Amino acid sequence: MPYTSPTTDIRFILDRVVGFEDVAATERFAEATPDTVEAILTEAAKLCDQVLAPLNRAGDTSPARLENGVVRTSPGFEEGFRAIAEGGWIGLTAAPDHGGMGLPVALGTALNDMMSGACLALQLNPLLTQGQIEALEAHASPEIKALYLPKLTSGTWSGTMNLTEPQAGSDVGALRTKAEPTGDGTYAISGQKIYITWGDADFIENICHLVLARLPDAAPGTRGISLFLVPKFLPDEAGNPGRRNDLRVVSLEHKLGLHGSPTAVMEYDGATGWMVGSENGGMAAMFTMMNNARLGVGAQGIGVAEAAFQKALEYASDRRQGKAGGSGAIVEHADVRRMLTAMKADVFAARAIALACAVAIDMGRATGEADWTARAALLTPIAKAFGTDTGIAVAEDAIQVHGGMGFIEETGVAQYLRDVRVTSIYEGTNGIQAMDLVARKMSDGGEAMFRLLDEVETAAEAARSELPDLAHVVWSAAETLRESTEWLVAQPLDDRFAGAVPYLRAAARVLGGHFHLKAALVENGPRRALARFYITRLLPEHAALLAQVSVGADGLYDMSPEDLAFA
Amino acid sequence: MPYTSPTTDIRFILDRVVGFEDVAATERFAEATPDTVEAILTEAAKLCDQVLAPLNRAGDTSPARLENGVVRTSPGFEEGFRAIAEGGWIGLTAAPDHGGMGLPVALGTALNDMMSGACLALQLNPLLTQGQIEALEAHASPEIKALYLPKLTSGTWSGTMNLTEPQAGSDVGALRTKAEPTGDGTYAISGQKIYITWGDADFIENICHLVLARLPDAAPGTRGISLFLVPKFLPDEAGNPGRRNDLRVVSLEHKLGLHGSPTAVMEYDGATGWMVGSENGGMAAMFTMMNNARLGVGAQGIGVAEAAFQKALEYASDRRQGKAGGSGAIVEHADVRRMLTAMKADVFAARAIALACAVAIDMGRATGEADWTARAALLTPIAKAFGTDTGIAVAEDAIQVHGGMGFIEETGVAQYLRDVRVTSIYEGTNGIQAMDLVARKMSDGGEAMFRLLDEVETAAEAARSELPDLAHVVWSAAETLRESTEWLVAQPLDDRFAGAVPYLRAAARVLGGHFHLKAALVENGPRRALARFYITRLLPEHAALLAQVSVGADGLYDMSPEDLAFA
């Protein structure tokens, strides 16, 4: 299953579309020179194309399995992980104090995109560790940082996130896992956690679990949750893995996809843990980590979309059926060409949104300016939801392009759909992303969105002289989104929530139009043709979506669940 | 996995929405009285809910497998098949001369919908046999009819369709299987066929293959194809299975879904066959059968959508997360309610379109009127594509409603997506359905579509007094579709094909609005609330779709396949 990392596209978007030069111009990221970026992308592409992509199929066909309490991993995954770790890729964006490279999140996002396209099941392992590194950097004590960060950054140890319990999924506040102080500064953690990605692996020396739990007498709900670091093996005085902690993998889930990524049910039975952050401050610490993980998951969707698109294009370029012009392959049929071009156009839009979000994160960190932080916060749910929805939709279309072959597992294209399907669910379902967008991220009265729309409209105005028709469509769409936003922020939450998902998608459509228009101005060739395709054929969807938004919650509860059940 | 056949909904649509009373008023279908319809639906529901639905999971987890040349089927499938056969369900719409019940296709479509919701993998078996019965009724010699039809109708034997070869999928004309006259009126059939659904089964006495093949010196392409009946066992003089024919199952495919339905690679090695229809008339015979099979596949999508919706609604009504009002279950969250209501509204729309198509088929057969035949031909690709697209979309949303549980195979909801995924591919991909709609089905200059739109607009006009706002939206949408159709029929084929898929979906959206409006007029309760949801939130999509249509093929080929490959 050949896969080519989209370095040209990523480089183009960074340099010409989302303003990465501003990041490189900051003192904090002064090392991210064009030469460094080029070297990073080139080396990452070698890893992804030559080492990771060849593992993807075996991860699916030889799932991770639990044997006598140890998770045996898929063939080649150990070697793949070693290559990731030895290349220093886990610590790409981590702080240099503990072995990280300190490079921008924009490059980390590009790496996540490429690694996900190559082998999503394995990429999840370093992604989770990256999240743990960020949480520890922000909230852990100096002793914990000194001990754990170098080992996590080097890939000697790996990290997991333990949020979910059977009764506490999207509603994290309902969790029951307990943390009892032992008197020596540690805590005894007891409870069951589910959906623990890479909860164990036979090729990693120690697994470090970040566990949300409740102190005795903690307040109910999210205000009574604290965060604990609970390693599989307790470090001895030299910092090496010592005594086995009181935790175990109960079982692995049998999933639709991502078979190479072990998803564990974890049992903690008085396991020793160290608090990270403050008492009852667990949610704040978790959110630090989740916001960036959400962008990472968006990048997963985009990476899988890229891989599925490449596979579909290759098949369509080879397969001969019927009276097609040109090469005689089905890529010459109008409907197949329409599908492939739409896939390509949406991957570009989703990737540009994700990289723009990453640039905003970097600028926020480098400059401390609140506008950048607000921009990053605003774009994160859009990047996550649109990236993963695009992953699913493009994988669906890739199956369709393959016709009957798409339904045969050996073809490999169905795996993309099975693997990527969960990305719209984990790290907060896309419905929750949309609620986050219209509530929390618009608690500023829509200010961050309006500032973004100002930029979109200004850019469209500037494009009118060269591309009047396209510029006008983008400008009008932005104006429609502005009106819809003005209406939305004046509504009570129920009305916002009822239209949240269509609103988020409409915003992504408009931003996609904005970034395509920028690309079209740079190059009067394929990129302009792709932009024209997107702006004339895909962007119009925003109006239908905003029509849904405008209804609010009106009539939504007129049917009871019993009414819906009539059959 | 409980499943409740949607008899109330089907009955409502037949009686109040799509004019089934006109069918029952014909001489041909005089037996289809309200009492008979009620009895049929009630008995079919018992079969589906109590016998077939409980088999669905085992079909997935214990796939059919090939053992020493015989296909061993999933646990319980034999008993399920016996129940279908003994109830007389295979011959529901078959002519009474050879044991059929001669009931309307509208009831057959309702049955297919219900059986597909219960157990799609098993339902495929009688569906293929029904197609074979239709082909033999229309094209076979009296001797073949007399021998085969009673056995097929009773389920003693079963039927398959053999079209596809590795190099001949959507392009049937590229097939190479040979048929040599033997001199005794039979033919020696040689070649390989792939994707043969239920190509063998250990619980069926004889499998009758309908095989497309070429006579010596036949013209290339579709004009040189004939149709042959090739049984697994050659009937002896008493009509019982005799000598083994020279054909075999080479292998079974490993598929994304439908594991309970064996998909065979068949090898014919000079097997004895009988011609059905005329020399080189194979495509015509196959089309008779395929048009009705296409409606049957549309019903498959609707049935699976119904089952997935029911499962999602049940989960959402039980699962408690966060601060939901009412029952406290997630069905009270605005976004979950939005998803579930949209699923319900789309299932209604797709089902009404399919049953309207079936009514048109029945009226065409009963009256011989060309307008009805043209209506049936026009609606068939819409029913197939929109029914199966709805099946996939609703199964996707059902997973999303389940959150993390949706990705776990034991939950069972992912199976619906895996099973239904192929329905947009087989019996002509949905892209081919759309091309059929804008080319062949509009070779009348759009007359059949304009007649349908006249009805939609007249009904909307009549609804203005009671439901002015909804009626206006439906009327306007029909008018927009009319304008788009007028433009479309004046374009060359390339421009039609470029927008064919969005055009078909827009037409389905408008028809869905039409049928929902009819339902809203009948009942000022949940059905009106559902109609309001559809018309205000889902119908607006038609405009975005028709915007795509209006671009035609403009710019579609500006990027070469190599341009698309840039990464």
Confirm if A236 and A261 have CB atoms less than 8 A apart.
no
Nearest-Cα residue of chain A relative to residue B501: A335
pLDDT of B71 reads 97
Q: What pLDDT score was predicted for residue A445? A: 97
The catalytic position among B427, B455, B479, B541 is B427
List CB contacts (< 8 A) between A312 and chain B: none
For position A567, what pLDDT does the model report? 61
Could you tell me which of B481, B342, B446, B326 has the C-alpha nearest to residue B400? B342
Q: Quick one: pLDDT at residue B324?
A: 67
Question: Where are the extended beta strands (E) located within A92-225?
Answer: 157-162, 178-181, 187-197, 206-213
pLDDT band, very low/low/confident/very high, at B567 (cuts 50, 70, 90):
low
Q: The tokens 């097929």 sit on which residue?
A: B152
CA angle B261, A65, B403 (to 5 degrees): 65
pLDDT at A324: 67
> How crowded is residue B134: how many other Cβ atoms within 10 Å of its Cβ?
22
pLDDT of residue A566: 75
How close, in Å, is residue A330 to chain B by CA atoms?
10
Q: CB–CB of A426 and B434 under 8 A?
A: no
**Beta carbons of A170 and B322 less than 8 Å apart:** yes
Q: What is the ipTM of this complex?
A: 0.97
3-state secondary structure B463-515: HCCCCHHHHHHHHHHHHHHHHHHHHHHCCCHHHHHHCHHHHHHHHHHHHHHHH
- Among B297, B537, B545, the strongest candidate for a mutation testing the A interface, having the largest count of A CBs within 10 A, is B537
Angle at CA of residue B80, ends B77 and B82, nearest 5°: 110
Task: Return the percentage of chain B with pLDDT > 90, whole number.
Answer: 94
Q: Which residues pair with A210 in a beta bridge?
A: A161, A229
Q: Could you read off the pLDDT of B418-449 as tens digits, one per residue?
A: 999 999 999 999 999 999 999 999 999 999 99
Residue with tokens 């973004």: A452
By CB atoms closer than 10 A (0-12, 13-18, 19+), residue A558 is middle
CB B207 within 8 A of CB B160: yes
What was the pLDDT predicted at A72?
A: 98
pLDDT in tens, B283-327: 988 887 787 899 999 999 999 999 999 999 999 999 988 776 777
In this complex, which of A407, A553, A564 lies closest to B344 when CB atoms are compared?
A564
Q: Coil, helix or strand for B241?
A: strand
pLDDT value for B211: 97
What is the tens place of the pLDDT at every residue in B249-258?
999 999 999 9
Q: How far is CA B48 from CA B44, B123, B201, B430, in A?
A: 6, 10, 21, 27
Q: From the centroid of its chain, how far is CA A2?
A: 23
Do strands A226-231 and A263-276 pair parallel, antiparallel, or not at all (unpaired)? Answer: antiparallel
| pLDDT (tens digit per residue) in B456-502 | 999 999 999 999 999 999 999 999 999 999 999 999 999 999 999 99
Shortest alpha-carbon distance between residue B96 and chain A (Å): 31
- Choose from A113, A252, A256 for mutation: most chain B CBs within 10 A: A256
Cα A242 to Cα A231, A232, A236, A459, B12, distances in angstroms:
10, 9, 5, 59, 69
- In a mutational test of the A interface, the residue from B124, B172, B407, B420 whose CB has the highest number of chain A CBs within 10 Å is B407
pLDDT along chain A (567 residues), means of 10: 92 98 98 97 98 98 96 98 98 96 98 98 97 94 97 97 90 94 98 97 97 96 96 97 98 98 98 97 86 93 98 94 79 96 98 98 97 97 98 98 97 98 96 97 97 98 98 98 98 96 98 98 95 98 97 95 85
Which of A49, A337, A407 should be substituted to probe chain B, the one whose Cβ sees the most B Cβ atoms within 10 Å?
A: A407
Q: Do B533 and A556 touch (CB under 8 A)?
A: yes
What pLDDT does B73 receive?
Answer: 98
For chain A, the C-alpha Rg in angstroms (whole number) is 24
What is the rounded CA–CA span in Å between residue A7 and residue B216? Answer: 54
Query: What is the reported pLDDT for A287?
Result: 82
Poorest-confidence range of A149-153, A165-169, B39-43, B373-377?
A165-169
Furthest CA-CA distance within chain A: 79
Nearest to A407 among B422, B532, B564 (CB): B422
Please list every residue in chain B whose beta carbon sits closer than 8 Å to the beta carbon of residue A525: 563
Q: How far is B86 from chain A (nearest CA, A)?
A: 26
The candidate with the shortest Cα–Cα distance to B51, out of B22, B84, B20, B26, is: B84
Domains and CATH numbers, chain A: 157-280 (2.40.110.20), 431-555 (no CATH)
B-chain CB neighbours of A553 within 8 Å are 334
Distance, in Å, from the CA atom of A68 to the CA atom of B528, rounded to the nearest integer, reads: 58
Enumerate the residues of chain A whose CB falls inside 8 A of the CB of residue B334: 494, 497-498, 500, 553, 556
In the three-class reduction of DSSP (H, G, I as helix; E, B as strand; rest coil), residue A8 is classed as helix
Token representation of residue A444: 């500023």
Phi, psi of A117 (to 5 degrees): -65, -30
Which residue is catalytic, options A427, A457, A466, A523? A427
User: How far is it, in rounded angstroms, from Cα A424 to Cα A429?
Assistant: 6
A contacts of B331 (beta carbons < 8 Å): 561
Closest in A169, A403, A426 to B170, CB measured: A403
> A375: distance to nearest CA of chain B, Å?
25
Is pLDDT of B540 > 90? Answer: yes
Instruction: Judge contact between B27 and B50, C-beta under 8 A.
Output: no
- How many C-beta atoms lie closer than 10 Å to residue A80's C-beta? 30
Could you write out the DSSP letters of every residue in B178-202?
Answer: EEEE-SSS-EEEEEEEEEEET---T
For A567, which residue in chain B has the nearest alpha carbon?
A: B6
Is B427 one of the catalytic residues? yes
Is the Cβ pair B5, A335 closer than 8 Å? no
The pLDDT-based confidence of B9 (bands split at 50, 70, 90) is very high
The nearest CA of chain A is from the CA of B526 a distance in Å of 6
A383 in Cβ contact with A303 (< 8 Å) = no
Which helix (H) or strand (E) segment holds residue B65: the answer is strand B65-67
* Tokens of residue A259, six digits: 């078979």
DSSP string across B381-432: HHHHHHHHHHHHHHHHHHHHHTGGGGGBGGGSHHHHHHHHGGGGTSSS-HHH
The partner residue sitting opposite A530, judged by closest CB among B417, B530, B559, is B559
Contact B169 A403 (CB under 8 A): yes
3-class DSSP state of A467: coil
Task: Please answer yes or no on whether B407 and A255 come within 8 Å at the CB atom.
Answer: yes
Residue B375 phi, psi dihedral angles, 5° rounding: -60, -45
- pTM: predicted TM-score of the whole model, two decimal places: 0.97
Nearest to A533 among B6, B167, B555 (CB): B555
A64 CB-near residues (< 8 Å, 6+ apart): A71, A72, A73, A74, A77, A201, A252, A259, A260, A261, A262
Q: Are B106 and B24 in contact (CB under 8 A)?
A: no
- Closest CA of chain B from A95, distance in Å: 30
**Which chain B residues are within 8 Å of A257, Cβ to Cβ?**
407
DSSP 8-state symbol, B218: P
pLDDT of residue A1: 58
The answer, yes or no, to whether residue B219 has pLDDT greater than 90, is: yes
Q: Check pLDDT > 80 for residue B207.
A: yes
Token pair recorded at residue A202: 């036979």
pLDDT tens, residue by residue, B97-122:
999 999 999 999 999 999 999 999 99
Please judge whether B543 and A548 are an interchain contact, meaning their C-beta atoms are less than 8 angstroms apart: no
Within 8 A of B526 by CB-CB distance, chain A residues are 558-559, 563-564, 566
Of B313, B341, B544, the CB nearest to A543: B544
Contact between A520 and A348 under an 8 Å Cβ cutoff? The reply is no
Number of other CB atoms surrounding residue B483 within 10 Å: 12
